[in-house]
Structure 1
């Protein structure tokens, strides 16, 4: 047994350790009577409730964040799918527009070629008409000159002169 608990020494009223023990016991008794353990327990319980509510709030926020993350991932996947679909649609549209442009270009080239051929034909017809007109004028002048030379030795006939003058206009 420890030395301070000896019957003669510990329970001696002049022993300061006895009074410290009694004071300590009285202190604890006063604390119990004042309700300090209940107060400490209620403070600790309130703190525990507050911590639990914060944990519950954190769990709720985490669940909301996970749900939001899942929603964002789903929206991202949907947006990527829409972008891929839009890309496919744009490629199909580009191919269709390319084919239409090719057809329109071929049609335009065919129209221009036909127009050029018509202009060439018109130019040929006009050139032939001009050549015929020139040949007619030249032939009329040559005939007039030949007739004039033949008739130069002969006496002039007014009927023949008017026929020669009209020859150039009638051959055109």
Structure 2
């Protein structure tokens, strides 16, 4: 306060009105009226302690800004922690996805190998069954050909025997066949 008042007095002494030689302390002098109004304004400000209030408001604002900065730092650190956590989780999920893909590929390869082996077994069984059917059909055809050959041979022998044999020879042949069958059966 003393510094402001002394600065005001120094300003009065160095006024251009003093230099001109006019009466400065007159109500008709506008410089004097302005000076009085300024001194009154500064006095009112000092009386109501406006500079102190402004100082405390600025201090409060500084404290508020400091607390906001501290809170912002804390939030930033928390955000960085969360970001690091999410990046770790993302890396873990990526690794797990890679493991799942690798496992799925291995399972698919294994399933394909198993399907190939099953197909080979099925083809082998079908080939075996087809060969057995062919062998059976061949045996049936051979048997049918033999049976037909026997029938033809019997018919041919019957014709030959019937033409060359007499009734007495036929009866003797029948008796010998019966005896031969009887000997083989007992």
Does TM, scored on the shorter chain, surpass 0.5? yes
Q: Corresponding residue for 1:74? A: 88
Q: Corresponding residue for 2:52? A: 38
Aligned mate of 1:148, from 147, 157, 162: 162
Q: CA contact under 8 A between 1:4 and 1:10: conserved in structure 2?
A: yes
Matches within 5 A, 1:71-110: 71-110=85-124
Which segments of 5 or more consecutive residues in structure 1 lack a partner in the other structure?
Answer: 164-172
Give the CA deviation at 1:130.
Answer: 0.9
Which segments of 5 or more consecutive residues in structure 2 lack a partner in the other structure?
Answer: 1-13, 176-186
Aligned mate of 1:12, from 25, 33, 37: 25
Query: 1:134 and 1:100 mapped to 2: Cα distance?
Result: 50
State TM-score, norm by structure 2: 0.68
Equivalent pairs, count:
160
Query: 1:100 and 1:155 mapped to 2: Cα distance?
Result: 76
Query: 1:147 and 1:10 mapped to 2: Cα distance?
Result: 186
Q: CA contact under 8 A between 1:12 and 1:18: conserved in structure 2?
A: yes
Query: 2:23 and 2:91 mapped to 1: Cα distance?
Result: 82
Q: CA contact under 8 A between 1:10 and 1:17: conserved in structure 2?
A: no
Q: Taking structure 1 as reference, are residues 155 and 93 closer, same or farther at Cα in structure 2, changes over 3 Å only?
A: closer
Instruction: Using the TM superposition, name which of 84-93 and 142-151 deviates more.
Output: 142-151
Matches within 5 A, 1:50-65: 50-65=64-79
Q: Corresponding residue for 2:41? A: 27
Is 1:115 the counterpart of 2:129? The answer is yes
- Secondary structure of 1:52's aligned partner: helix
Give the CA deviation at 1:126.
Answer: 0.9
Q: CA contact under 8 A between 2:17 and 2:24: conserved in structure 1?
A: no
Per-residue CA deviations over 1:64-105 (Å, capped at 9, x if unaligned) read: 222222122112211221122222222322332232223222
Query: 1:124 and 1:158 mapped to 2: Cα distance?
Result: 38
